[in-house]
Amino acid sequence: KVIDAYQEYQLRYNIDSSAMPKQVEQETEYFSPRWYYLGEIPYGEMPEDDIYWYPAVLFLDKKLKGEFTFAGTKLVKHELQQVDRL
């Protein structure tokens, strides 16, 4: 039986944006970049897990470790903890 599912990979890295060249992200067949103000992130249009970790990472600069389990695109279980280092 074929099920509707997706796999999402999260990478960890540190970025010093002042040292990076300024560039504009390019749209591709699979990706259309969109930029939002932090208070206007459209969580309702994103994978369900994002609401659990975006605020802690973007607003509070926390380092997190977690696991999210999906049935298709429906989030069915999640575990998330703050860590001192990745």
Tens-place pLDDT, residues 37-48? 888 999 999 889
Assign 3-class secondary structure to 29-84.
CCCCCCCCCHHHCCHHHCCCCHHHHHHHHHCCCCEEEEEEEEECCEEEEEEEEEEC
Tens-place pLDDT, residues 5-20? 555 555 555 555 566 5
| pTM assigned to the model | 0.64
Question: Within 10 Å of residue 54's Cβ, how many Cβ atoms?
Answer: 14
